Structure 1
Amino acid sequence: MTTLSRLYVVKIGGQVIDDPVACADFLHAFAALPGPKVLVHGGGKLATRIGEQLGVTSQYVQGRRITDEATLQLVTMVYGGLINKQLVARLQALGCPAIGLTGADMNLMRAVKRPVKETDYGWVGDLTAEGIRVEAFMRLVEAGEVPVLAPLTHDGNGHLLNTNADTIASCVAVALSAHYRVHLVFCFDQKGVLRHPHDPDSVIPLIRPADMPALMAEGALRDGILPKLENAFAACRAGVEQVLIGPAYALSALSTETSTRAFGTIIRL
């Protein structure tokens, strides 16, 4: 084809999943997005709560979950089971033909177990765009299906791996960018990337790599936003047409083809 179709890869954060009203608004907006699309979801606090009930204590190093064998079983049940299937069922109720998947299904996403350095993160997967099975994704979206991806990959040797959902979204977007005009959207609980972390209206409308040193010097970027920006810049460098970081209503603007400059933060090179 001479003109590539637009495809949305949308990542929903755990904060949105944990908020029933925000999650409902998000799912309505996602279901209304035109054309092919992929949803990647995080885990929220549910795994921690259920883990406490089951006697599985969550351990973190610099905000990253340590995934031992018991924790892997927990997140597989919660991420790949309960959360994934609840999202799929709710999208089906909105007329969106969702199909819930992990990276092991159809060999969609193959990662490698993170090597042990200063910290042993356990069964955590490091994923790259080369680990995405593009032809399988294309078969699904060209058939009109909407993949809903849990943050679980596999190593090709029979073991599941807990994998960062932002990284999954970025890798899927990059891998599909040779075949579609990919728009990558990170939806979370803020209006965008904030210049002043305690002022929810201080949204930075556009960030380029050259802006980063000044923003870092100002203390404008919270620790949690840095991985999103790193993934966003990496995706742009690898061929993704546009990255947007913002709230669920940014999706509503996309579905009506309203300019996104008024909603969230656009990332460009």
Structure 2
Amino acid sequence: MKEKLYIIKIGGALIDDEDLLDEFLGQFAAIEEKKIMVHGGGKLATTLADKLGIEQKMIDGRRITDKDTLDLVAMVYAGGINKNIVAKLQQKKCKAIGFSGADANLIKAKKREDAEIDFGFVGDITEKGVNKKLIVKLLKLGLVPVFSAITHDKKGHLFNTNADTIASVMAQALSAKYDVELLYCFDKAGVLEDVNNPESVLKNISEEEFSILKNEGKLHKGILPKLENALGAIRNNVNKVFLIKETELKNHIENHHAGTEICL
């Protein structure tokens, strides 16, 4: 029987709210099973970019990363945000250790190739790019890895990589060793059938249902990358995948019924 591993992804809204983040990290620290956190950024990168006069370009919710923006997000994501989370987890008696993908070659990426859009210093990853053996060793030592969304190509270049994708691919890579449950924690109670009705939470969603909702334009563009990565994980042997409200982490761990479950 495989040992349980939670891979938990958090995003900007939570990171930007100090009190909410502190409460969440308390719930995360209390999880007894092995666990990994993957975090994105918050408004800090955008705020600093405005102050520094660095123009920010987004396409379909994804940041275009030029050299100045890369320097900024590496500083904010792998530096300030990552170390703040790690320090708060240490306060809660959680043996957290913060990483970018470049540290110990933990996540190797390749520059995104797109015929229509130059995303700049944006990296895409596959299972082969995840250093599974070393991550397993870290977990066996009782450490709790906390990953920022910064990766590298082993040629001296850093990349900005979608945190939802990192969580999904890492879950896939570790699913051969562990009983992996992937949790996307965000500011909604789950996937909403009606984006204007917070009570219209879908208890589960399949690939077919996702396609229908997407084609009907019922899904907010911000949820699309999460759902695409969640479906990629469930297709590739990750045992369970949920989208849950960040305040429901403790409830979900104990009762296994919060949010929306992703199904085949």
TM-score, L = length of structure 1? 0.95
Instruction: Give the structure 1 partner of residue 222 of structure 2.
Output: 224
Number of the residue aligned with 1:265: 260
Task: Report the Cα offset of residue 229 of structure 1.
Answer: 1.1
User: How big is each residue's C-alpha offset from its partner over 1:147-174, in whole Å with a ceiling of 9 and x where there is no partner?
Assistant: 0000011011011100000000001100
| Structure 1 range deviating more: 53-62 or 166-175 | 53-62
Q: Report the RMSD for the aligned CA atoms in angstroms.
A: 1.3
Match of 2:98, as an amino acid?
G
Offset, 1:91: 0.6
Q: Secondary structure at the match of 2:222?
A: helix
| Deviates further, 241-250 or 53-62 | 53-62
Contact 2:60 2:221 in 1 (8 A): no
Residue 123 of structure 1 aligns to a residue in which SS?
Answer: coil
Q: Which runs of 4+ in 1 moved over 6 A?
A: none
Percent identity, aligned pairs only? Answer: 48
- What SS does structure 1 have at the residue aligned with 2:137? helix
Q: Cα offset for 1:116?
A: 4.3
Q: CA deviation at 1:22?
A: 2.1
2:61/2:221 contact within 8 Å kept: no
| Alignment map for 1:71-220 (pairs within 5 Å) | 71-220=69-218
SS in 1 for 2:190: coil
Shift of the alpha carbon at 1:239? 0.7
Which structure 1 segments of 5+ residues have no match? none
Q: Distance between the aligned counterparts of 1:215 and 1:120, measured in 2? A: 29
Indicate conservation of the 8 Å contact 2:171/2:182, yes or no.
Answer: yes
- Change in Cα spacing, 1:61 to 1:212, as seen in structure 2 (3 Å) is closer
CA distance in 2, matches of 1:103, 1:217: 35
Task: Answer yes or no: is the 8 Å Cα contact 1:33–1:251 preserved in 2.
Answer: no
Residue 16 (structure 2) aligned to one of 10, 15, 18: 18
Cα deviation per residue 1:18-53 (whole Å; 9 max; x = unaligned)?
Answer: 122321221111111121100000101110111222
TM-score (normalised: structure 2): 0.96
Query: Are the equivalent residues in 2 in contact too, given 1:152–1:162 (CA < 8 A)?
Result: yes
CA distance in 2, matches of 1:173, 1:213: 23
Residue equivalent to 2:242 = 244
- How many angstroms apart in 2 are the aligned matches of 1:236 and 1:143? 28
Distance in 2 separating the partners of 1:110 and 1:178: 19
1:182-239 deviation per Cα after TM superposition (whole angstroms, max 9, x unaligned):
0000000111111110111211111112222432355431111111111111111111
| Distance (Å, rounded) in 1 between the aligned partners of 2:231 and 2:211 | 14
CA 1:73/1:217 → structure 2, altered by over 3 Å: closer, same or farther? closer
Cα distance in 1 for partners of 2:187, 2:17 equals 9
Aligned to 1:50: 48
Conserved in 2, the CA contact under 8 Å of 1:9 and 1:185?
yes
Give me the whole-angstrom Cα distance separating, in 2, the residues matched to 1:116 and 1:132.
22
For structure 2, list consecutive stretches of 5 or more residues without a partner in the other structure. none
Q: Residues 158 and 217 from structure 1, CA distance in 2 versus in 1: closer, same or farther, beyond 3 angstroms?
A: closer
Amino acid at match of 2:173: A
Q: Do the aligned partners of residues 227 and 116 (structure 1) sit closer, same or farther apart at CA in structure 2, a change above 3 Å counting?
A: closer
Describe the shift of the 1:57–1:218 C-alpha distance in structure 2 as closer, same or farther (beyond 3 A): closer
The answer to whether the 8 Å contact 1:48/1:57 transfers is no
Q: CA deviation at 1:63?
A: 2.4
